[in-house]
Amino acid sequence: MSVFQNVTVIVPSLNPDEKLMKVVEALEREGFDDIIVVNDGSRADRLCNFPDPAEHPSCTVLVHEVNKGKGAALKTAFKYFLENRPDRLGVVTVDGDNQHKSADVKKCCEKMLDTGALVLGVRDFSLPHVPRRSRIGNRITSFVFRIGCGMKISDTQTGLRAFPGETLPAMLEISGDRFEYETNMLLSLGDYGIKLAEQTIETVYIEENQTSHFRPVRDSIRIYSLILKFLASSVIAAVVDVSLYYLGLVLLSGLLGTLARLIAFFIARAISSCTNFTINKHKVFENSDSVGRTLLRYYALAIPIMVISIGGVELFEYFIGNGIPIITTLVKIAVDVIMFICSFRIQRAWVFAKRKNKD
């Protein structure tokens, strides 16, 4: 069987213009014979731009009565595929704005079938015609993925992705209904043991991507939600730690003298770390494993990080430092930032990892 008979194309669309039909017709000319278009709650005046299955028998149109988001549209199509296309080997997602060339769609499908990996069609953001906001946005997201998650991805927001069929049940479990879903998908690949590959594609921007439904502020917050929630959890724990330490000094100093500092430190750190653990488990990483197992892993990480944080500053002072408070403080900030990044990566990959990826 050819790639066209093995792979189904999925095109999510909201309020499309005439470019959607250009995408469908180009795919048909390329030879794709099964195209699922998802109408994600489009306005009545835009319905004329969707393909008519009577005229385009290769097309199936699925409808959301109200807008649910790109992630929800993809999940609807994935579920439909699993229920109705048992003989097909995979799917490829394509944006409906005519910025993905049909020849590149075919290349991604062929690479997916050859490697068994989830294949990203990646663009070259160094080209002069790439809109500034797209170039900056991708560089920031790629940097965050590399530093925060240890993943080197050239194009984190590409909509051209080819999925082996066996990966789709996992895709349905991943959280997110809008643009953040595509980011969460990449973050979750390791949890499900899914391989990732890249295929270079032509970099096309029509009208500087003005027809994109991406909302820079709101959708960026959604995309970075995991890291932002982890940061918020750390800040909350820090506030609890400092507040309880101060309260302990006030209440205990008169009774215990210098010993009050040590007792206040351990009480504050114990309660603040439990606070941080609870938020991370239930709100940040949404982990459903037993408290006992994850708690042991959490403190197996938290205690060495605390020792390294304290020891790093002390070593600097011993070998290089000169006792200037501002220098010591800056060193502590630098060490804590490094420890924050390490803690995030280890908590995501080990402490609160999905059960499927446990040892």
pLDDT digits (tens, 9 = 90+) for 299-355: 999 899 888 877 887 787 777 766 666 776 677 778 888 888 888 889 888 898 875
Please tell me the pTM assigned to this model. 0.75
Q: What is the pLDDT of residue 337?
A: 83
Q: What is the pLDDT of residue 296?
A: 94
Dihedral of the alpha carbons of 142, 9, 23, 37, in degrees to the nearest 10: -100
Higher pLDDT, 135 or 250: 250
pLDDT digits (tens, 9 = 90+) for 18-75: 999 999 999 999 999 999 999 999 999 999 999 999 999 999 999 999 999 999 999 9
pLDDT digits (tens, 9 = 90+) for 267-282: 988 999 999 999 999 9
Three-state DSSP at 116 gives coil
Burial 139-164 (b: 16+ CB within 10 A, else e): eebbebbeebbebebebbbbbbbbbb
Residue 258: is its pLDDT beyond 90? no
Residue type at position 289:
D
Q: What is the pLDDT of residue 2?
A: 66
Q: What is the pLDDT of residue 142?
A: 77
Pairing relation of β-strands 90-93 and 7-13?
A: parallel
pLDDT digits (tens, 9 = 90+) for 132-165: 766 777 777 777 777 766 778 888 889 999 999 9
10 Å Cβ neighbour count for 225?
A: 16
- Dihedral sign for Cα 40, 14, 73, 93, please: positive
Q: Name the DSSP class of 164.
A: E
**Considering the chain, what is the average pLDDT of its residues?**
85
Alpha-carbon distance of 178 to 174, in angstroms, equals 12
Radius of gyration of the chain (CA): 25
pLDDT digits (tens, 9 = 90+) for 119-136: 999 988 777 767 776 677
